[in-house]
């Protein structure tokens, strides 16, 4: 005996139609079609699976689609994420850190991150590399701190 279940939903501008059909050979076929008002098909697919796996596969699909949705709704990465630091960028960061008067290190780091289109974590890590104390705006690293943090110390700035 064959049985079919249909469901339709509209999400935004996309109309989705899903049907599940079971047939005599104990398999289930899921057909999905997503189309725009114009009729343009933007989603189309078919899955064939054993009927007894339907509930388990349904849960699996729900988890995968939920995770995918969470990934897609994350904010965009910083425009300069994973881009190499240049000598000019290092100089700009060092100058900004040493010349800005701020008492709040995290706030200044966030501000510099926004300006340089990088993450606050990237800015904080780079500050030590350019000889700046990431905990105190306007202060250079001491030689001892530079050794610990893997950065440069004081006014003698050689490349690392």
Residues 95-120 pLDDT 10s = 999 998 767 899 999 999 999 999 99
Same domain, 92 and 36: no
Range of the domain at 105: 87-149
Is residue 30 a contact partner of residue 19, using CB atoms and an 8 Å limit?
Answer: yes
Q: Does residue 28 lie within any of the structural domains?
A: yes
- Percent of residues, the chain, with pLDDT higher than 70: 88
Q: Does residue 93 lie within any of the structural domains?
A: yes
Q: Does residue 82 lie within any of the structural domains?
A: no
DSSP conformation class of 157: -
Is residue 159 over pLDDT 50?
no
CA–CA distance, 160 with 152 (Å, rounded to integer): 8
Same domain, 27 and 55: yes
Whole-structure pTM value: 0.50
Looking at 49-53, 87-91, 130-134, which range is the least confident one?
49-53
Please state the domain count of the chain. Answer: 2
| pLDDT the model gives residue 156 | 47
């Amino acid at each position: 005996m064959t049985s079919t279940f249909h469901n339709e939903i509209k999400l935004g501008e996309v109309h989705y139609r899903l049907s599940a059909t079971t047939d005599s050979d104990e398999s289930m076929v899921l057909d999905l079609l997503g189309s725009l008002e114009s009729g343009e098909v933007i989603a189309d697919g078919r899955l064939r699976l054993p009927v007894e796996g339907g509930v388990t596969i349904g849960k699996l699909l729900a988890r995968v689609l939920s995770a995918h949705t969470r990934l897609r709704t994350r904010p965009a990465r910083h425009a300069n994420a994973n881009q190499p630091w240049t000598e000019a960028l290092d100089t700009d960061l060092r100058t900004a850190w040493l010349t800005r008067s701020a008492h709040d290190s995290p706030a200044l780091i966030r501000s510099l991150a926004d300006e340089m289109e990088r993450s606050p974590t990237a800015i904080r890590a780079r500050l030590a590399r350019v000889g700046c104390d990431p905990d105190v705006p306007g202060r250079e690293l001491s030689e001892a701190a530079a050794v610990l943090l893997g950065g440069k110390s004081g006014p003698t700035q050689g490349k690392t």
